[in-house]
Amino acid sequence: MIDALFMPHRPRRNRRTAAIRGLVRETVLRADQFIYPLFIKDGAGDEDIASMPGCARLSLDGLLREASEALALGVRAVVLFPAIAAELKSPEAQEASNPAGLVPQAIQRLKAEFPELAVFTDVALDPYNSDGHDGLVSDGVILNDETISVLCEQALCHARAGADVVSPSDMMDGRVGALRAALDAEGFIDVAICSYTAKYASAYYGPFRGALDSSPKLGDKKTYQMDPANAREALREATLDEAEGADILMVKPAGPYLDIIAQLRQATTLPLAAYQVSGEYLMIKAAAASGWLDERAVVLESLLSIRRAGADMVLTYFAKDAARWLREN
Ligand code: PBG
């Protein structure tokens, strides 16, 4: 037995009971901080997504059902990703701004049924482009400025259908300013822009591309998405997006890029979003399916960590599950 040590600082005192731990807890996770990504398709019936167990490409009826379940659990925002039939894909990606297309139809149905739901849309050409790239392609080059005018048409199409927030995920230079100008010119001053500010050229998107059959046919996305090696460059992108009028900045992926979230948190006063992407989802799902991880505990810890790093809101395929688990906690 050692004599009582003189030790004024005993951090364990603040961990002694659940009530005390609750008082000193620095980060909270709430269902209304989640944005639920949903895949949609034309026609009746939902289709399971082989590369993302537990996720489906939803018919419009399926979409309404998911949205209503999410709302009932306190998740009040969704973001839509369309699976576009191969025959509607083209090098010019015209389908991206078809007013009778899948996304505008889905927005209209959602907003009619659930006006209180925040509907985010993805602005990028990859689901519509037969090249599978986020921008127009010419001789293997992803065209920047030509792409921007197509993105503006796409964002306007979403705004006219009633989208609350458009989220450019394409990483073209100057697109946030161009979208803001195009939206304002049509009077959509209240449609917000959530910019994928630091979107990395990540291998963690693989399962998502499987879900939409949207992998690039040639080459990769490294001439527009960011190099995973770079952090300062994210600050540069954030400065530009902020100056161009972004309302929310996003970091993607989330878990492997917590340092980027933390740095952006210091650098901007804008709200920050982080996207827990398909590969992050799949790693947890796969490990849980083989009994190697406790899914519930790991999901909640991963989301809490993203929030602790500085994200205000998290896009996560676990939105409904996490909301349910938070209720039970
Ligand atoms: C495309 C887009 C991608 C994701 C969201 N929007 C894929 C990509 O850039 O290739 C990935 C999301 C995920 O992996 O969950 N603009």
Instruction: Show pLDDT as tens, one digit a residue, over the chain (329 residues).
Output: 566 778 999 999 999 999 999 999 999 999 999 999 999 999 999 999 999 999 999 999 999 999 999 999 999 999 999 999 999 999 999 999 999 999 999 999 999 999 999 999 999 999 999 999 999 999 999 999 999 999 999 999 999 999 999 999 999 999 999 999 999 999 999 999 999 999 999 999 999 998 888 889 888 999 999 999 999 999 999 999 999 999 999 999 999 999 999 999 999 999 999 999 999 999 999 999 999 999 999 999 999 999 999 999 999 999 999 999 999 97
Q: CB-based burial of residue 43 (10 Å sphere; 0-12 exposed, 13-18 middle, 19+ buried)?
A: exposed
Inside any domain, residue 19: no
What CATH number does the domain containing 130 carry? 3.20.20.70
Query: Does 228 map to a domain?
Result: yes
- Nearest Cα residue to atom 5 of ligand 1: 169
Position 184, amino acid: D
- Say what the pLDDT of residue 212 is: 86
The reported pLDDT for the residue numbered 83 is 96
Q: Is 134 in the pocket of ligand 1 (CB under 6 A)?
A: yes
* CA distance readout (Å), 285 to 105, 293, 302: 31, 9, 13
CA distance 19 to 1: 31
pTM for the structure as a whole: 0.96
Residue 17 domain-assigned (yes or no): no
Give the burial class of 314: count Cβ atoms within 10 A of its Cβ; 0-12 exposed, 13-18 middle, 19 or more buried: buried
Instruction: Tell me if 66 CB under 6 Å of ligand 1.
Output: no
What range does the domain containing 48 cover? 35-328
The tokens of 21 are what? 């731990």
User: Is 289 within the bounds of a domain?
Assistant: yes
Helices 60-72 and 102-113: crossing angle, nearest 10°?
40
Q: How many domains does the chain have?
A: 1
pLDDT for residue 210: 87
- Quote the pLDDT of residue 316: 98
12 within some domain: no
String of DSSP letters for 227-272: PTT-SHHHHHHHHHHHHHT-SEEEEESSGGGHHHHHHHHHH-SS-E
Q: Does the residue 176 lie in any domain?
A: yes
pLDDT score recorded for residue 2: 63
Taking the centre of ligand 1 as the mean of its atom positions, its distance from the CA of residue 205, in whole angstroms, is 6
- Report d(CA 280, CA 289) in Å as an integer: 14
Indicate the top mutation candidate among 194, 208, 215, 217 to test ligand 1's pocket, ranked by most ligand atoms within 8 A of CB: 208
Please indicate whether residue 199 is annotated as part of the active site: yes
In a domain, 119, yes or no: yes
* 8 A C-beta contact, residue 237 and residue 196: no
Pocket test for ligand 1, best of 89, 133, 134 (most atoms within 8 A of CB): 134
CA-CA distance, 302 to 174, in Å (whole number)? 32
Active site (annotated) includes residue 41? no
Residue 11 covered by a domain: no
Residue 213's pLDDT is what? 85
Query: Is the minimum distance from the CB of 124 to ligand 1 under 6 angstroms?
Result: yes
